[in-house]
Amino acid sequence: MNQIVGFIIPLIIMFALMYFMIIRPQQKQMKKAQNMYDQLSPGDHVVTVGGLHGIIDEVDRTANTIVLDCEGVYLTFELRSVSRVVEESSQIAAESYQPSSDAAEEE
């Protein structure tokens, strides 16, 4: 009986560690991604998993697709291909970026 308890306790501890180290963080990440997909709307600046930057033109929840406007080129992607939503403050900073005069002199 002592041998069985000595075997089962480490096994239970190992499963508990696996749950808290692997399964639970993955569930949190999936929930966060699903929340992002649910909040996508036309006009949002996004980056796809392939690195393509664009503005959402249309979201089709029944077909799980989005149409991105990439400087006049309209492309259709799966909803899950969106990697992240670009924050407005970083978008404004990128658009207003002016290279320094040192960089212009080097060319």
The residue extents of the domains of the chain are 1-39, 42-107
Tell me the backbone φ, ψ of residue 100, rounded to 5 degrees. Answer: -70, 160
pLDDT band for 44, please (50, 70, 90 cuts). Answer: very high
**3-state DSSP: the chain helix, strand, coil percent, rounded to 5?**
50, 25, 20
In the chain, which ranges are continuous DSSP H helix?
Answer: 2-18, 24-39, 88-95, 101-106
pLDDT at position 101: 57
CATH number for the 42-107 domain, one of 2.60.40, 3.40.50, 2.30.30, 3.40.1000?
Answer: 2.30.30
Q: Is the pLDDT of residue 58 over 80?
A: yes
Q: Is the pLDDT of residue 93 over 60?
A: no
pLDDT band for 95, please (50, 70, 90 cuts). Answer: low
Tokens standing for 48?
A: 């796809």
| Percent of the chain residues past pLDDT 90, beyond the cut | 63
What pTM did the predictor assign? 0.63
More confident residue, 107 or 56: 56
pLDDT at position 38: 92
Q: Is the pLDDT of residue 41 over 60?
A: yes
